Structure formats: C-alpha cells, structure tokens
Amino acid sequence: MAYPRNALHNYKNRRAPSGCRLLELANYFQVKSEYLIGKSELVDQHRVDYIFEKLSIKEKLEFLKFLQNWVENIIKTDPLL
C-alpha cells in the first residue's frame, strides 16, 4: 500500500484516516472498518459458529440434514463405532 510515512505516523498518533482510507485499510487487513476504529471486536469469520449464525433457517435445516447423513455413514462404515 502506497501510504506516505507521515500518514502512517498520524494514524499511530490517533489521527483518523479519511473514510476512503479507512475502507482501503480494512480491505487490506481483511477486517471490518469498525474494528480499526475500536467500535467492534475482531471476529474470526471462519469460525463454524459465526458462519452458522449467518445462515437462514432453511440453510441451517439443510446443513443439519447433511450432518445427519454424514454421521449415519460414519457409523455404518466405522467398525469401532
């Protein structure tokens, strides 16, 4: 990212970047802009519970059916279970 040194120094010393710069930085670091300004917690968007909460009811039910089938197949094919 081609930011001048004085811009980065200003950000470290609590001077806010412009909205456009804030979005660029958030995209670069793959975080929400709210996190960069201290208004939200960093959320691991790859956590299963985070992903599951974002699903619709229909998607959750489809996922549940998939898991049930998967578990049933594991039980059938694994002699230790």
Task: Report the amino acid identity of residue 24.
Answer: E
The number of angstroms, rounded, from the C-alpha of 75 to the middle of its chain's C-alpha atoms is 33
- Structure-token match 């979005």, residue found: 23
- Structure-token match 């998607």, residue found: 59
Q: For residues 31 and 49, what is the distance between their CA atoms, to the nearest angstrom?
A: 18
As given in the structure block, the two tokens for residue 78 are: 């694994």
As given in the structure block, the two tokens for residue 75 are: 């039980």
Mean pLDDT on 63-73: 91
- Considering the chain, what is the average pLDDT of its residues? 82
pLDDT at residue 59 in the model: 93
pTM more than 0.85: no
Q: For residues 72 and 81, what is the distance between their CA atoms, to the nearest angstrom?
A: 11
Q: Is the C-alpha dihedral spanning 45, 47, 50, 55 positive or negative?
A: positive
